[in-house]
Amino acid sequence: MKNRKRRRFFVFIFLLLFAGACTAGGGQPTYTLPLQIELAVTPETVHVGQRALIEAVVTQGSDKVVDASEAIFEIAKKGERNYEELAAKSKGDGTYAIEKTFTAAGTYTIKAKVTAQDLTAVSSQVIKVKEE
């Protein structure tokens, strides 16, 4: 008889703990909005020997991301395996930027890779650099 009471007691405690664990999360999943990157190159038409401003505006939902732990631009000329990797500087308003002077005409792919709040986003844009 004593064992039966003890067994019921432990089953009751187990069920109580199980029920409490099931309701502790509130049943509502949490969602994290992804990072979005908008790339811009100024001037619109880049010429050899001309300095270009390359900017990435980083947002998460409607908020600007000002605390990225890493912001890198990769610049690769079409047909070449190697690429140049440049660390971007924060402008403090969700914009991360570099300045680049292109030394050869051609088609280039610019990739922006930004990491913030344990999320990483990559965006790319193709530009053509023309002879002067």
- Give the residue carrying structure tokens 């001309």: 50
Domain 35-130, architecture per CATH: Sandwich (2.60)
| pTM listed for this prediction | 0.75
Q: Is the pLDDT of residue 25 over 60?
A: no
Higher-scoring residue by pLDDT: 95, 2: 95
Please give the average per-residue pLDDT across 53-78, as a whole number: 96
Mean pLDDT of the chain: 88
Give me the mean pLDDT over the 67-92 stretch. 96
